[in-house]
Amino acid sequence: MQTRFTTPTVAPMADEYELYTTVNDNYNILIAGRIGAGKSVFEHGMAYNLLNHYTPEELEMYLIDPKRVELRDFIGFPHVKGYANTVDDSILLLEKVESIMNDRYDYMARHRGMKMYDGSHIYVFIDELAMLMSKAKKEMTALLENIMFLGRAALIHVVCCTQAPSRLCLPAQIQQNFTCRVGLWLDDAIDSRQIVKSSGCELFDGPGKCILHCGGIHDTFDVPMYTNAHYRLMERYWMLGSPISQGVAR
C-alpha cells in the first residue's frame, strides 16, 4: 500500500472556488462575522482550497483552535505541522513560527540579493482571535504584530477569525497589518466599517454572503461551501497510510 502521496499530477477536487484562491493569495487576512455567520465555512474553505493546490513540500499549516472543535478535522494532514488549543500552547506555537521567520530572514541575509524566501509557504490559522486576546492580549499582540509585519518576505500568511471586531479585540497595531478583509454577516454598520471599510455586512439576512475588501477588490460574493464528499475525498487523497491518530508535530 502506498503510504504517502507525492506531488499530485491532478488536483483531487474539481471545485477550486476562485474566491478562496483570491483570498489565499494574500498574507494577512481577517475574517469576521457574528455567531452563525459562516466563519467556519469560510475558514475551512480556505484550508481545503490550499490542500487542493499544494503538496506538503510546498505548504505548511499551523492551527490555533481555542474552541477545540473548528480546526481539529485537519489534524493528520501531512501539511499540518502544529496544532494548539490552549492559550499557553497558542503562544508557544506563534513563538515557533516567529523563530522560523527569523531563520528565514537569516537565510536570506546570507544570500546576497534575495528579497523573498524560496521555500514553502506557511499559513497560520487562528480560529477565534478575540478569545485569545481576552486572556493573553499583551503576548498575542506582540507576536502577531511582529509576524504580520515581517512575514510576507518569509512567505508566512496569517489568517485570523473573530466574531468580536471591536478595537479591544483587534488592537490598532494588528488591524493596520490586515491587507485582506472578509466581512460576513455582522451586527451593525459600525462593525462592518471596522472590518471592510464600508457598511453592508449588516444587511445580510444570514450566512452565505460576504464583502471582500482586498487590494483593488471591494465587492459582495456568495460564499461557496465544500461538501462532505469533498472532505472525504481530500482525506483519502492525503491520509492514505497516514492514520490521523499519529497526530502532528509540536
Distances (CA, A) of 35 to 39, 164, 202, 207: 8, 9, 13, 10
Helix (H, G, I), strand (E, B) or coil at 218: strand
With bands split at pLDDT 50, 70 and 90, how would you rate the model's confidence at 13?
low
With bands split at pLDDT 50, 70 and 90, how would you rate the model's confidence at 245?
very low
Q: Does residue 201 register a pLDDT over 60? A: yes
216-227: pLDDT as tens digits: 999 999 999 988
Beta sheet of 121-126, edge-to-edge order: 80-84, 59-64, 121-126, 156-162, 28-32, 180-183, 209-214, 217-222
According to the model, what pLDDT value does residue 244 have?
Answer: 35
Residue 232 in domain: yes
Residue 11 in domain: no
The backbone region for 215, taken as left when phi is positive above 0, alpha when psi lies in -120 to 50, beta otherwise, is: left
The total number of structural domains that make up the chain: 1
Helix (H, G, I), strand (E, B) or coil at 110: helix
Of the candidate ranges 12-26, 179-193, 234-248, the one whose mean pLDDT is the lowest:
234-248
DSSP 8-state symbol, 72: G
According to the model, what pLDDT value does residue 78 have?
Answer: 94
Q: What is the CATH number of the domain that holds 151?
A: 3.40.50.300
The backbone region for 5, taken as left when phi is positive above 0, alpha when psi lies in -120 to 50, beta otherwise, is: beta
Provide, rounded to the nearest whole percent, the portion of the chain with pLDDT above 70.
Answer: 89
105-118: pLDDT as tens digits: 999 999 988 999 99
- Alpha helix stretches (DSSP H) within the chain: 18-24, 39-53, 87-110, 129-150, 172-175, 189-196, 228-239
Residue 10 in domain: no
Cell numbers standing for residue 132: 485569545
**Section 30-36 average pLDDT:** 95
Distances (CA, A) of 73 to 80, 205, 225, 243: 11, 29, 16, 13
Residue 218 in domain: yes
Residue 179 in domain: yes
Q: Does residue 241 register a pLDDT over 70? A: no
**Section 27-50 average pLDDT:** 95
Provide, rounded to the nearest whole percent, the portion of the chain with pLDDT above 90.
Answer: 75
Which one has a higher pLDDT value, 143 or 13? Answer: 143
Residues in the chain: 250
Residue 61 in domain: yes
Note whether 141 and 57 are within 8 A (CB).
no
- Rounded to the nearest integer, the mean pLDDT of the chain is 88
122-180: pLDDT as tens digits: 999 999 999 999 999 999 999 999 999 999 999 999 999 999 777 777 888 899 999 99
Determine which helix (DSSP H) or strand (DSSP E) holds 63, and give its type and residue range.
Answer: strand 59-64
pTM score, whole prediction: 0.89
79-114: pLDDT as tens digits: 999 999 999 999 999 999 999 999 999 999 999 889
Rounded distance between C-alpha atoms, residue 159 and residue 44, angstroms: 11
**Chain centroid offset of residue 198 CA:** 23
The domain in which residue 169 lies consists of 18-239
